[in-house]
Amino acid sequence: MTRTTIFSEEHDALRRSIRAFVEKELAPHADEWEAAKDFPDWVFERMGELGFLGLHHPEEYGGSGGDYLTMLVREEEMARCGSGGVSMAVSVQAEYVTPPIAKFGTQEQKERYLRPALAGRRIGALGITEPDAGSDVAGIRTAAIRDGDEYVVNGSKTFITNGCRADFVLLVAKTDPGERHAGISLFLVDTDSPGFEVRRRLDKVGMWPSDTAELAFTDMRVPAANLLGEEGKGFHHIMWELQGERLAAAAGACAGAQRCIDLTKGYVEERRAFGQRIADFQATRHKFAEMQTSVDAARALVYETALAVNAGEYPVREITEAKLLATRVHFEVADTCLQLHGGYGYMMEFPIQRAWRDSRLARIGAGADEVMLDYIAKHMGF
């Protein structure tokens, strides 16, 4: 049985070209970038040049005008680069920051931010989370107060992916600090604006090559023309954005889990104990069968949900379920695979430790498991 029937010949051709790029131009650098805890900006430019950042974005602004399933193809193939950090940084550019500009932006904003971002010439970051408000987005405190033709922004953000290297930030702020959801608006902020500061680059458990920043804004003036979408509608706009972010995370998680299985199958077929291959213990084979079943089930949910999105539906509950299930499966699979490597799995020279560290984040980022469970229960009528 073929499980990839949702993809056309064009998708398959796209997959071959992304795979060739990832294997030739990214994977050979994965160890070096991990050690440096950084990777060069040319990755964005090169991916922009190849058209991989704008797969389903409008051709008018330099995208390829493909369908939504092209996103799945890139997320799946990026898992082969061997660095969750690089995959995440690229996803932020292609699936977090640019879709809201394409959907809510003015023509001028699309020219200034979307076009160069799809080309990989301007790098974007998404600024939602604050030191005192993560899951509770409506609890953010960064204020953007209107003053003539500008907004004056004061506040801070934390855990911002691409925040150190970004040329601009899609900033979520309160235009009415007295309100919760109704007080939120979005802005496109140039990082060379006076009052913008990268306060700190954060050190983290996994995803090492991606930069994670703490940002501060002090009397930072943002032109009113940089308001993205409607004032006071930013919460709805960003909730829409989060659905795409979550489905991309789910697709990447399934591919990451599959990569762990494939890596580990090779290992247990080589390694011997008690006079036989580790692969020959029934306990080992059953672990693989359990893992593959979980990955196939999660992937089926991701594909079905992506097909619905592709058909113009907005399946929030299914997106949430897919994100919850796939990212849990990814971490559980990575953990089992590390276990199957024994002590070698705990050594930094074996790739499984990186996959294990990298896989942990997605159960927190883009909405923690508990927040996902709350959404699903709410959509069930609780």
Ligand X SMILES: Cc1cc2nc3c(=O)[nH]c(=O)nc-3n(C[C@H](O)[C@H](O)[C@H](O)COP(=O)(O)OP(=O)(O)OC[C@H]3O[C@@H](n4cnc5c(N)ncnc54)[C@H](O)[C@@H]3O)c2cc1C
- Interacting residue ranges for ligand X, rule: CB under 6 A: 92, 126-129, 134-135, 159-161, 204, 207, 212, 361, 364-368, 370-371, 374
Whole-number CA gyration radius for the chain: 21
- Contact partners, residue 4, CB within 8 Å, separation at least 6: none
174 contacts 142 by C-beta, under 8 angstroms: yes
Q: How far is the CB of 31 from ligand X (least distance, A)?
A: 20
Is 59 one of the annotated active-site residues of the chain?
Answer: no
Q: How far is the CB of 205 from ligand X (least distance, A)?
A: 8
Q: How far is the CB of 89 from ligand X (least distance, A)?
A: 9
Under DSSP, the state recorded for 130 is: B
Q: Which residues pair with 213 in a beta bridge?
A: 160, 201
Q: How far is the CB of 292 from ligand X (least distance, A)?
A: 28
Task: Say how far apart CA 43 and CA 23 lie, in whole Å.
Answer: 13
- 212 or 264: CB nearest ligand X: 212
- 93 or 258: CB nearest ligand X: 93
- 54 or 367: CB nearest ligand X: 367
Task: Say how far apart CA 261 and CA 307 lie, in whole Å.
Answer: 26
Q: How far is the CB of 25 from ligand X (least distance, A)?
A: 24
Q: Which two tokens stand for residue 67?
A: 């369908």
Q: Is 161 helix (H, G, I), strand (E, B) or coil?
A: strand
Q: How far is the CB of 87 from ligand X (least distance, A)?
A: 13
Residue nearest to ligand X (CB): 134
Degrees to nearest 5, angle at CA 372 with 370 and 374: 70
* Residue 247 CA neighbour count, 13 Å, CB half: 31
How do beta strands 272-273 and 276-277 pair?
A: antiparallel
- 166 or 263: CB nearest ligand X: 166
The one catalytic residue among 245, 304, 318, 332 = 245
Task: Say how far apart CA 261 and CA 337 lie, in whole Å.
Answer: 7
- 8 or 135: CB nearest ligand X: 135
- 57 or 157: CB nearest ligand X: 157
Q: Where do the DSSP E strands lie in the chain?
A: 124-127, 143-147, 150-161, 168-174, 184-190, 196-201, 212-223, 227-228, 272-273, 276-277
Q: Which two tokens stand for residue 227?
A: 């308001």
Provide the annotated active-site residues: 245
